[in-house]
Structure 1
Amino acid sequence: MEEVDKILIHSLKQTGTNVGKDVQSVKHFTSELIVEAVVRCLRVIDSALGSGLSPSLPPGMSARFRVGMSLAQACQDLGYKGEIGYQTFLYSNEPEIRSLLMFLVEKLPKESAEALDQPAGKSALLQKSIAAQIKAQLAMPWLPPSCRLPMLCKTQNPGPSYSFQCQNLSLPHFRNVPGNKQLKEEKDYHRDFLLPVTAQLSRHASVPASLMEHHAAELSATHEWENEWNSQGLLSRLTPEEYRSRKRARLQKRIDEQLRTATQPRPDSLSAHRSGSDLTELLQFFGGSPLPGDILTKGTRFTHTEKFTFTQEPERSAQQMAAAASSLPSSHQSEEDLQTQQQEELAALQQKLQQLCLSLEEVGGDIRQLTVSKQQVSDELKQKELSNAEKEDSVLVKKRTIDLLPDAENNLAKLQALVEGSAKRVVNLAAQWENHRAPLIDEHRRLKELCSNREMESSRKLTEIKELHDKIRQSAEEAKKKDGLYKQLITEFENLPKDVSRSAYTARILEIVGNIRKQKEEITKILSDTKELQKEINSLTGKLDRTFAVTDELVFKDAKKDESVRKSYKYLAALHENCTQLIQTIEDTGTIMREIRDLEEQIETENGKKTVSNLEKILEDYKAIRQENSALAAKIRDA
């Protein structure tokens, strides 16, 4: 059974069951470990059947009974024919658990078993153990701190939480570049100057988020490249390097065009002066006077200020100048009068500015109206030009018709001859076109068929190429898996003890086979001896019965005549009865001995079932259930 238990424990570890190193046999399995092993196996066999089952036992006894009943029902649904119930998991015994685990291990799919054997190397084993721990922690139900057991405090302990903030990372990427100098410089930079990942970030808590974001970006870029290559790259019939170089050249060309377009002068700056001059000419053409100071012409802010100052107002007279001079602040005027005068002047200037703005808006409205009217006039002019051209054509046709009226008959005959000649020429051209058209159509059909054949051939080759790519990818994956399996086997081989050779295992196997053969021979010999003894017993019994019958008949005949013979007959009958009782006693003794051996085996089996400890557990669970019921009743009464 030790070899069977080792195989079972190894299979359970592959399904993700956390079996400790100290557990070497099924009899060391606890109830929690049994429930976890059964749930893991059910999830691997049928995910829908085991998804709703928890791999850990809850603390409450009623919940434990429900979990045991659910597991028993799931195993029965899977096809287990043995006796099973909640007691199998809560009050387990070694034979039942061994048979149940053997049934579940036999039900495990071979593909999943092969997949579980694939991880190789220390890193792969570490990743597998990390994944198993994460799955186990995710499968555990969350409990509030007051309801947690000591075993859950480590996994569900409230630790510091951080927000998901990622930053850009600079990681070394070694590429096959032409020339070893650049590759050497990159290696020197990565070795001497590039900081570690933990030192590149401002916060240590952002390291996992940044690594996950960087990995997700690289993974998405790889998927995008594979999709683009499978959809467009294969159709271009280029190598991946050529396709990348062509794509890079196109992108560089587009960037150059965008930069060239951005550096060229815009046509708006050149047309600004034209728009102002054209608008001035248009105003002069419709009788309007040009605006004072040539407002539409562009200029600097200094020129606008100068024109506003010196052109908007006429030259002041001497009296105005004198009034202005008199209005200048004197030295003995107070500051309040000066501020009041400045505010009045500012208000007057603001009023003038508002008037000028209103006048500018009016001029702008006039300009817009004139522009619209100009557009309407230009449209009308175009329409009139078109109508004039049509009228000129009709007048020209009528004039030619009128010129032909004096000699109408001759002209009609000429026109008829011209029409007939034109018809003949059209028919001749149609015949020639048909002569040229037939071979061209045949050639077109032939080329079209050839093109379709080529397209079919190219699509077939493209499909073959895709299939070859898939096969190459599958072969690469299989090669990676086999390489990993090879590394794992090498690691296991290195971990094996070196002092034990293959010959020792072979000798042990041959010894076991020899012992089995000897046991089989002994069993066969014992069976043959038993059969011979049974035959001998049967023959002796028959001989005894026949001898007694003959002796009884002879002695009975003589007993009628002689008194001593009559006593001998009585002794013979008593001897026969005593022998019969002795034989029956011996047979009963053998039966009792066999029953004793059976009972001893049953006692050993019951001792293996841990009946006493299970009874003690049942009593403890019964007490716990009574306490839970009393607590619930107290809560109900309080409510």
Structure 2
Amino acid sequence: MEEVDHIIIHSLKSIDCDIDDDIVCLKQFNTELIVSTIVSCIKFINNEIDLPNTLPPGMSARFRMGASLANCIQDIGYRGDLGYQTFLYSNESEIRKIFMFLVEKLPKDSSQTAEEPLGSSVLLQRAISAVISRQMQSPWTPPYLKNKGVTWRGKPPTWQREGACNMHNFHGVHLTSPEGVADLNKKIPKELRAYYNQSLPFVTKQTLRHFDTAPSVIEQNSSEVVAHQEWETEWNQSGLASRLSQQEFRAKKKQKIQRMISDRLRQDAQRREGARETDMLRDLQQVISSISNRAKSGAKTKGSRFAHTEKLMFGKDEEKTMAQIGGEVPTKDTEEEQKQKREEEIESLRGELGELASRLEQLDTENRKFAASHQQMQDTISTETRTMDDKEQAYRVKKRTLDLLPDAENNIAKLQELVDNSGKKLILLASKWEQHRAPLIDQYRELRDLNSKKESEAQKKLEEIKAFRARMKEFADDTRHKEELHKQLQSEYERMTKDVNRSAYTRKIMEIVGNIKKQKQEIDKVLVDTREIQKEINSLSGKIDRTFIVTDELIFKDAKKDEAVKKAYRFLAALHENCDHLIKTVEETGVIMREIRDLEDQIENESKNKVLANLEKITEDFQQMKKENSTMIARIKQQS
């Protein structure tokens, strides 16, 4: 434990804790030093915690500070039992555990020692990291606010000039790249492969500006990744539940989208037709109102000579138009009458429109019925024509047979001769076919065997390729995982201080390991000695029992004849009994000695816990609490 205490004290001194040089172990820490060092560690771990470094004079305030310390350490991540008594009435083992936990939680860059000389590379890395951290902490300024790259930054802030050239907007364009080339199972048409090899330009030549290539590639890759993820989620959610293959699911989805688009277009067309009819009605009303207004204005105003000539020229046409629209030229009406007439005309037009729509629907239904009946009639006609063809063919066969009936014997002989000739021709053709068929069958079997061998080889190669791809994926995942681990370890290594004298820690750790090995060897020796002694005890006890049995048998035979032998037998039994009693006594003595050692260890542990000192301290604190309570009661009485 001394080496552990040295390491803890060295770590505490490295974070500027006020510890005397005479203190070499945690046993020498008093309550004030424990509280101050723990508060320093907590502040170094978390700067936002505000706690005093010294204990307050009042006992209640001390208890509150101890409870707040326990809460802060538990918030950091300590899992043991803590309370105000842990700090005010300290125990060496508990304090050591707390300090070990806090030292492990300290930032790695906290300890700064100059025992080892720093090289030029370390100084360069520190300078680079300082510049980068300063630039990361400074606010970002957009390029259009910089005058030739001059900014106001730094600690203390100064005017600095930085490079602001080669900056452009993120602009991506559509790129065309070969698809399905990497998939060996997918067959690409020759025309498409020739287009990929000869006509398709490179990605760098598909953009007008060279610096748009990278944004275009990034945008296309991101869109492909998003589309792939959306397809996987849709397939996992609804595709697998439909129990269809991916091609069938895609085709069904395509049909659904096409049907939706056609429905939307149909609805839009109907909506446009309705809007066109309303626009026509609105235009008609505007024409009527303009004509009526023109007629009113012509009646009211006298007009010039040119107006009178225009009226004479176009008056007849207006009268004809009004006669066609309204039947007669409108007279002077009020606005309410005109409005009522317009509404009546609109209602009549709406009624006509509704009648036309109903008529159109009726015609549509009749058209559908006619189409269905037409299809049915087509089906019946096709079936009737089919039956008619069959009957015509049967009629021709029967007619030919009836024509042959008058000269039946000659016709039968002719038919028999034809049948015989056709049988001979069939036999000859069969023999010739066998001559051609045998080599063709052999060739077919050879080609089939070759094809099966090639298919088996191709299948094996395909399986090997799949296995290689799976292994490549595993290696890629393993490599990616190792790269991430390497980056993590590299970052941790970079965060660690390079100027810490690790040789002292290494030497101390090696000494601790050597001491543990020596203790283990001594424990092994003691265990071996204990086993040997136990074996000797067991062998001796067995030897004693066997000797007693043999002696007992020998003496018991002679004890019947001689009195001296009887006395010897009694002495032998008493000796055996006394030996058993001694052995039991020795075993009980060993048990008592072990209990004594356990009690001594407990006494030593209790002495380390400082029970008496803590008890005296608790009594003193209790007396002080009583005094504080009495003074407070007296003040309250005086104020009342």
TM-score range, shorter chain: 0.3 to 0.5
TM-score with structure 2 setting the length: 0.39
TM-score (norm 1): 0.39
